[in-house]
């Protein structure tokens, strides 16, 4: 019955699995140098794509160089010349550097050449030697010269390799130059006339894509600039296409095969709707939409896998609770995992408060046992006392707890649910894949519905590239009535003094303030000293008349919670803190945040921190203090980055915009990093730059899988194989969430 049609592989498979990859025939030092670049097979070598290309097709006459320089030619020039003079390396005065000076010439004229710190050149170049020289034009003491030109000498009979062509420049190492890589590629390509093209011909034609073999040849050895563009188009498409094929396939497979729990849609009297009616505010349109999407998912027979992306303060928690209540209404339990104790405790407070409004307090439930619909909520963290923990675990196992909130403590072995129906992961990027998976596995029967949430939002078109196997809800709207936060940079002591005055003024009118200190270094515990000693200075010298509190990560849990509740109650007016307050502090009366050494924080972190203020009806102020001289950003790229980071936080509260700046600064690798396992590497595609191609690839993937869900058709065999090869072992068959 089983009819396996296998496409005859024609030629070399670019993304072959490990068993089909052809090892490189390199040994010793060469092999080590290649391995350093991640090249171990022919396939790796072919996919060692150039960083960029330089056009060396045009040869210049030396006579013309002066005019070119005058016209402001920037970029390399290339001449065919003979060495006329070459000096020995000479030590530059007052410096460790050496310099070689020489002269090259062709029939039209001569030009000076100089190299720095390249003593070997004096042994390679002798007067009379002929070759091609390419480099940048410059002037020294008013005289035209070529600075540090690279060259290729003409030896008898051998055709020059790097001249008269468009030359790819490869990521290289000290032991293996771009030119050497180019030679290896030349030899390897010459030996392999056929390269498998897995795209059905009709599709390639419709998208005007060149064949893969041609693309591969042209990216490494183009004849024209158009060759490079066409090659790049095709190779980028291939990468994002198999990626999308895999993501969509994974999602569909899950929907077809994994048994989930179908919860009834909530009606008027349901817990979820009663809860929404009792909220002290109206849901935003975005929250409404997200709740509807979640309800639709929970109603399906297969498990929900949804990501909620939302601004800091956009009200994700309410949507998550809506999901929990739908499951609870249907006799299931809900788990809600947060990355820090402070956040878990804040959730515990908020959730109970909101549920009290809708269903009365838990105590009253005990009085009217059987009548009250009030869900039972428990908190479990690493510092829950043993006896209490024991009791919570029991209640959870017997199904007496409806909603279990907590930290990583939720995924310990000892935690067993009676009937877990929905799992929420807040701030999902702060958990590893395996932690998210373990929470899901807590369900005794059926796969639970999974909702993951993040406050570092990326636009939908981008999210498709990374989270393409999850459904996406975006909360792009802040609740009404939020007052703006004014954000300013404070550079140096005078500015800081003004920030202190601002704190005094706000506290005088009844508000509260945060002063946040940076972690100097994850491994370095000196942050504690600094927050601690600063708290002392602030309490005793700066604000002796104010009530100053301190909270940091190394405090005992009970002390931390005590410090937080003193701040919540208003007893503490100024809270000196480390980043433990980054998430999960909801004190609407706090209106000032002074971030010290703001340059040490990442962009997303600053945005999150700032989200602690502006939560109430009052105008709020955020001050980002730094001792760096930001003006030096013009010349010092590191400071330039800091300036851009702080500047963007100051100029916008739009998390999507900030996420893009962050992406630009840190590279998109981090996005894939956040997904961790189960995501193939991208070697040539840049999801930021190639969003249009991503969309096209997504559409194609959906269309093909609509027609042929298992990719069984003969013309899809090679694609299916490539898709499997690109996804790490088994990740296509395993449920991935977030």
> What distance in Å separates the CA atoms of residue 661 and residue 456, rounded to the nearest whole number?
12
Which string of DSSP letters, residue by residue, matches 535-553? Answer: HHHIIIII-TTS-EEEE-T
Give the residue with the Cβ less far from ligand ADP, 260 or 655. 655
- Which residues pair with residue 56 across a beta bridge? 165
> What distance in Å separates the CA atoms of residue 629 and residue 464, rounded to the nearest whole number?
39
Residue corresponding to tokens 């954000």 = 487
**Judged by CB under 6 A, which stretch of 81-89, 307-315, 621-629, 702-710 contacts ligand ADP?**
307-315
| Cβ 646 to ligand ADP shortest distance, Å | 22
> What distance in Å separates the CA atoms of residue 653 and residue 658, rounded to the nearest whole number?
8
**Judged by CB under 6 A, which stretch of 257-265, 313-321, 691-699, 713-721 contacts ligand ADP?**
313-321
> What distance in Å separates the CA atoms of residue 577 and residue 318, rounded to the nearest whole number?
27
Which string of DSSP letters, residue by residue, matches 255-279? Answer: HHH-----PPPP-TTSHHHHHHHHS
Residue 287 within binding range of ligand ADP, rule CB under 6 A: yes
Q: Long-range contacts for 97-104 (Cβ within 8 Å, ≥24 apart)?
A: 104/62, 104/79, 104/133, 104/146
> What distance in Å separates the CA atoms of residue 131 and residue 113, rounded to the nearest whole number?
14
Give the residue with the Cβ less far from ligand ADP, 176 or 455. 455
Residue 393 within binding range of ligand ADP, rule CB under 6 A: no
In angstroms, the Cα distances linking 665 to 23, 638, 681 are: 36, 11, 19
Residue 281 within binding range of ligand ADP, rule CB under 6 A: yes
| Cβ 595 to ligand ADP shortest distance, Å | 18
| Cβ 609 to ligand ADP shortest distance, Å | 12
Residue 455 within binding range of ligand ADP, rule CB under 6 A: yes
| Cβ 645 to ligand ADP shortest distance, Å | 21
Residue nearest to ligand ADP (CB): 315
Which string of DSSP letters, residue by residue, matches 558-582? Answer: HHHHHHHHHHHTTS-SEEEE-GGGS
Residue 284 within binding range of ligand ADP, rule CB under 6 A: yes
| Cβ 614 to ligand ADP shortest distance, Å | 10
| Cβ 317 to ligand ADP shortest distance, Å | 3
**Judged by CB under 6 A, which stretch of 46-54, 309-317, 372-380, 668-676 contacts ligand ADP?**
309-317
Q: Residue from 315, 421, 633, 680 that binds ligand ADP (CB under 6 A)?
A: 315
| Cβ 284 to ligand ADP shortest distance, Å | 5
Give the residue with the Cβ less far from ligand ADP, 457 or 680. 457
How many chain residues bind ligand ADP (CB under 6 A)? 17
- Which residues pair with residue 548 across a beta bridge? 574
DSSP state, residue 94: T
**Judged by CB under 6 A, which stretch of 40-48, 315-323, 403-411, 570-578 contacts ligand ADP?**
315-323
**Judged by CB under 6 A, which stretch of 106-114, 275-283, 435-443, 592-600 contacts ligand ADP?**
275-283
Q: Residue from 163, 172, 216, 312 that binds ligand ADP (CB under 6 A)?
A: 312
| Cβ 567 to ligand ADP shortest distance, Å | 15
Residue 186 within binding range of ligand ADP, rule CB under 6 A: no
Give the residue with the Cβ less far from ligand ADP, 287 or 626. 287
Read off φ and ψ for residue 658, nearest 5 degrees: -65, -40
Give the residue with the Cβ less far from ligand ADP, 573 or 608. 608
Helix (H) or strand (E) holding 219: helix 212-220
Burial call 708-732: b when 16+ CB within 10 Å, e when fewer:
eeebeeebbbbbbbbbbbbbeeebb
Residue 655 within binding range of ligand ADP, rule CB under 6 A: no
Give the residue with the Cβ less far from ligand ADP, 357 or 695. 357
Residue corresponding to tokens 């981008």 = 462
Give the residue with the Cβ less far from ligand ADP, 479 or 553. 479
Mark 573-592 with x for binding to ligand ADP (rule: CB under 6 A) and - for no binding: -------------x------
Q: Residue from 60, 217, 316, 568 that binds ligand ADP (CB under 6 A)?
A: 316
| Cβ 581 to ligand ADP shortest distance, Å | 13
Give the three-state DSSP class for 734: coil
> What distance in Å separates the CA atoms of residue 443 and residue 422, rounded to the nearest whole number?
9
In angstroms, the Cα distances linking 701 to 110, 124, 247, 688 are: 59, 55, 9, 20
Q: Contacts with ligand ADP in 512-571 (CB under 6 A)?
A: none
Residue 433 corresponds to which tokens in the numbers above?
Answer: 């894949």
Q: Contacts with ligand ADP in 593-652 (CB under 6 A)?
A: 615
> What distance in Å separates the CA atoms of residue 13 and residue 22, rounded to the nearest whole number?
10
| Cβ 509 to ligand ADP shortest distance, Å | 22
Q: Contacts with ligand ADP in 214-243 (CB under 6 A)?
A: none
| Cβ 357 to ligand ADP shortest distance, Å | 11
| Cβ 1 to ligand ADP shortest distance, Å | 52
Q: Residue from 7, 31, 54, 283 that binds ligand ADP (CB under 6 A)?
A: 283
Give the residue with the Cβ less far from ligand ADP, 212 or 348. 348
Cβ-contact 344, 511 below 8 angstroms: no
Give the residue with the Cβ less far from ligand ADP, 516 or 625. 516
**Judged by CB under 6 A, which stretch of 47-55, 262-270, 276-284, 327-335 contacts ligand ADP?**
276-284
Q: How many CA atoms lie within 13 A of 218 on its CB side?
A: 19
In angstroms, the Cα distances linking 293 to 170, 249, 265, 322, 395 are: 46, 21, 11, 11, 31
Give the residue with the Cβ less far from ligand ADP, 315 or 738. 315
Give the residue with the Cβ less far from ligand ADP, 531 or 658. 658
Q: Contacts with ligand ADP in 470-489 (CB under 6 A)?
A: 479
The closest of 581, 598, 599 to 590, measured between CA atoms, is: 581
Give the residue with the Cβ less far from ligand ADP, 436 or 615. 615
| Cβ 603 to ligand ADP shortest distance, Å | 17
List the end-to-end C-alpha distance of the chain, in Å, as a whole number. 38
Residue 138 within binding range of ligand ADP, rule CB under 6 A: no
Residue 485 corresponds to which tokens in the numbers above?
Answer: 């936060």
* Rg, C-alpha atoms of the chain: 32
| Cβ 320 to ligand ADP shortest distance, Å | 8
Give the residue with the Cβ less far from ligand ADP, 287 or 456. 287
> What distance in Å separates the CA atoms of residue 205 and residue 569, rounded to the nearest whole number?
67
Mark 317-356 with x for binding to ligand ADP (rule: CB under 6 A) and - for no binding: xx--------------------------------------
Cβ-contact 234, 217 below 8 angstroms: no
> What distance in Å separates the CA atoms of residue 333 and residue 342, rounded to the nearest whole number?
23
Give the residue with the Cβ less far from ligand ADP, 287 or 589. 287
Residue 88 corresponds to which tokens in the numbers above?
Answer: 């020995």
Give the residue with the Cβ less far from ligand ADP, 312 or 580. 312
The closest of 676, 680, 646 to 662, measured between CA atoms, is: 646
Mark 197-216 with x for binding to ligand ADP (rule: CB under 6 A) and - for no binding: --------------------
Q: Residue from 149, 266, 310, 406 that binds ligand ADP (CB under 6 A)?
A: 310
**Judged by CB under 6 A, which stretch of 135-143, 181-189, 279-287, 640-648 contacts ligand ADP?**
279-287
Q: How many CA atoms lie within 13 A of 498 on its CB side?
A: 12
Read off φ and ψ for residue 137, nearest 5 degrees: -85, 140
**From start to end of 386-460, where are the E strands?**
403-406, 420-425, 449-454
Read off φ and ψ for residue 283, nearest 5 degrees: -65, 145
* Binding residues for ligand ADP (CB under 6 A): 281-284, 287, 310, 312-318, 455, 479, 586, 615
């Amino acid at each position: 019955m089983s009819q396996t049609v296998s496409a005859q592989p024609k030629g070399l498979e670019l993304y072959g699995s490990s068993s089909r990859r052809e090892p490189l025939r390199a040994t010793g030092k060469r092999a080590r140098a290649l391995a350093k670049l991640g090249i171990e097979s022919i396939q790796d070598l072919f996919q060692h794509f150039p960083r960029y290309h330089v056009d060396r097709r045009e040869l210049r006459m030396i006579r013309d160089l002066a005019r070119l320089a005058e016209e402001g030619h920037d970029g390399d020039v290339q001449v065919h010349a003979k060495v006329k003079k070459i000096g020995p390396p000479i030590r530059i005065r007052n410096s460790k550097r050496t310099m070689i000076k020489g002269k090259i010439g062709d029939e039209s004229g001569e030009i000076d050449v100089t190299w720095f710190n390249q003593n070997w050149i004096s042994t390679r170049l002798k007067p009379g030697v002929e070759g091609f020289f390419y480099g940048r034009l410059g002037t020294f003491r008013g005289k035209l010269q070529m600075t540090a030109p690279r060259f290729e000498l003409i030896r008898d009979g051998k055709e020059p390799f790097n001249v008269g062509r468009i030359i790819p420049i490869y990521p290289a190492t000290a032991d293996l130059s771009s030119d050497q890589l180019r030679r290896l590629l030349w030899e390897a390509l010459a030996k392999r006339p056929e390269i498998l093209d897995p795209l059905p011909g009709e599709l390639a034609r419709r998208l005007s894509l060149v064949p893969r073999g041609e693309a591969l040849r042209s990216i490494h050895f183009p004849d024209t600039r158009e060759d490079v563009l066409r090659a790049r188009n095709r190779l980028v498409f291939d990468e994002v296409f198999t990626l999308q094929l895999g993501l969509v396939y994974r999602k569909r497979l899950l929907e077809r095969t994994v048994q989930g729990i179908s919860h009834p849609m909530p009606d008027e009297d349901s817990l979820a709707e009663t809860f929404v009616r009792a909220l002290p505010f109206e849901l935003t349109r975005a929250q409404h939409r997200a709740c509807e999407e979640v309800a639709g998912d929970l109603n399906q027979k297969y498990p929900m896998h949804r990501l909620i992306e939302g601004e800091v303060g956009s009200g994700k928690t309410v949507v998550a609770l809506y999901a929990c209540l739908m499951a609870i209404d249907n006799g299931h339990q809900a788990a809600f995992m947060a990355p820090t104790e402070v956040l878990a405790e804040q959730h515990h407070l908020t959730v109970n408060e909101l549920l009290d409004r809708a269903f009365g307090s838990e105590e009253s439930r005990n009085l009217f046992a059987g009548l009250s619909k009030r869900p039972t909520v428990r908190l479990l963290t690493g510092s829950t006392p043993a006896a209490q923990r024991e009791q919570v675990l029991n209640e959870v196992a017997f199904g007496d707890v409806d909603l279990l909130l907590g930290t990583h403590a939720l995924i310990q072995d000892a935690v067993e649910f009676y009937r877990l129906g929905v799992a929420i992961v807040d701030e999902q990027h702060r958990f590893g894949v395996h932690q998210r998976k373990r929470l899901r596995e807590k369900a005794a029967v059926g796969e639970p519905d999974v909702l993951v949430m993040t406050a570092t939002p990326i636009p939908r078109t981008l999210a498709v590239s990374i989270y393409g196997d999850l459904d996406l809800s975006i909360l792009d709207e802040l609740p009404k009535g939020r007052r703006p936060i004014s954000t300013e940079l404070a550079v140096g002591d005078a500015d800081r003094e003004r920030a202190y005055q601002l704190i005094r003024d706000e506290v005088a009118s009844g508000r509260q303030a945060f002063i946040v200190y940076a972690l100097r270094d994850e491994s370095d515990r000196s942050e504690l000293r600094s927050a601690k000693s600063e708290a002392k200075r602030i309490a005793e010298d700066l604000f002796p008349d104010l009530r100053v509190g301190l909270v940091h990560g190394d405090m005992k849990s009970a002390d931390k919670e005590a410090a937080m509740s003193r701040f919540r109650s208003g007893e503490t007016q100024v809270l000196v803190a480390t980043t433990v307050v980054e998430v999960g502090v909801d004190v609407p009366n706090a209106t000032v945040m002074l971030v010290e050494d703001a340059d040490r924080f990442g962009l997303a972190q600053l945005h999150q921190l700032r989200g602690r203020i502006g939560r109430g009806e009052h105008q709020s102020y955020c001050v980002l203090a730094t001792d760096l001289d930001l003006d030096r950003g013009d010349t010092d790229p590191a400071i330039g980055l800091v300036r851009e980071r702080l500047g963007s936080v100051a100029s916008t509260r739009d998390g999507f915009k900030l996420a893009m700046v962050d992406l630009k600064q840190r590279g998109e690798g981090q996005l894939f990093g956040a997904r961790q396992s189960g995501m193939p590497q991208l070697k040539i595609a840049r999801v930021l730059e190639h969003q249009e191609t991503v969309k096209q690839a997504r559409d194609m993937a959906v269309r093909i899988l609509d027609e042929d869900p298992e990719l069984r058709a003969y013309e899809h065999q090679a694609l299916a194989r490539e898709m499997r090869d690109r996804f790490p072992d088994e990740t296509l068959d395993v449920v991935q969430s977030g």
